Structure 1
Amino acid sequence: MWNMMCDVMPTIAEDSISQRSSQFSGEDANFEQLMVSMLDERDKLVESLRENQERLGDTEQRLKEVEKERDSLHRQIAANLPQVNRDCSAPDFLLKM
């Protein structure tokens, strides 16, 4: 059993400590750059979300205005058109008012 462990476990060189510290500092720099990139991307996404929410609010407001205008036009058309007897054959668009 002990022989198997020795075969499997790599030997540790004396200078590996300095190699590890330089490796970790490189990994730390990569990790830090990754975090900065992720934060930048998050900021862009948050800004894009804010702009889209604002645009959605503007669009919803415009929709309400257009619906009011449509309803007003329907009332004007209904008031100015002669009344059509529903038993008669009238175009569908007139019956929807």
Structure 2
Amino acid sequence: MMCEVMPTINEGDPLGSQRGSQNGSDSDSNFEQLMVNMLDERDKLLETLRETQETLAVTQSKLQEVSHERDQLQRQLNSALPQKLMKYFQYKQICM
């Protein structure tokens, strides 16, 4: 555990009491700025997350469409290919 050592303030030293309160307000303003920065960063990250989720949804939709199209083309190819092969072999036999 670490302890911060605060500067000694003499009771009779008006500058010392000003420095102490100034250090406190500096610390408060630094903390406040840190919190503002953290909230801004959080907002940016949330916006990036939202955009990424939208992009993912669009990409998944496109993938589904392309997969469906691929399946249709595969079925067409499977149904047309045997007929074409049969005609090809019949043609080859006639030509021989």
Task: Say whether the fold is shared (TM-score over 0.5).
Answer: yes
How many Å separate the matches in 2 of 1:11 and 1:76?
87
**2:88 aligned partner:** none
1:13 matched to 2:15: no
Per-residue deviation at 1:11?
6.0
Measure how far apart 1:71 and its partner are: 0.2
Percent identity over paired residues: 57
Q: Supply the distance in 2 between the matched residues of 1:54 and 1:48 (Cα, whole angstroms).
A: 10
- 1:19 Cα deviation after fit: 1.9
Q: Distance in 2 between matches of 1:24 and 1:69?
A: 67
Partner of 1:92: none
Aligned residue in 2 for 1:66? 66
Q: Which amino acid in the other structure matches residue 28 of structure 1?
A: D
TM-score, length-normalised on structure 2? Answer: 0.71
The range that moved more, 27-36 or 13-22, is 13-22
| 1:34–1:50 Cα change, 3 Å | same
Corresponding residue for residue 43 of structure 2: 43
Which stretches in structure 2 are left out of the alignment for 5+ residues?
A: 1-6, 86-96
Of structures 1 and 2, the one with the larger relative CO (CA 8 A, separation 6+) is 1
Q: Distance in 2 between matches of 1:11 and 1:26?
A: 17
Q: Deviations over 1:18-51 (max 9, x none)?
A: 3211110011111111111111100000000000
TM-score (norm 1): 0.70
Compared CA separation, residues 70 and 23, structure 1 to 2 (3 A): same
After superposition, the CA RMSD in angstroms is 1.8
CA–CA separation in structure 2 for the residues paired with 1:11 and 1:23: 12
Tell me what 1:25 maps to: 25
Q: Which amino acid aligns with 2:46?
A: V
Considering fraction of residues, name the structure with more helix: 2
Letter in 1 for 2:49: L
SS at structure 2 position matched to 1:81 = helix
Aligned residues: 75
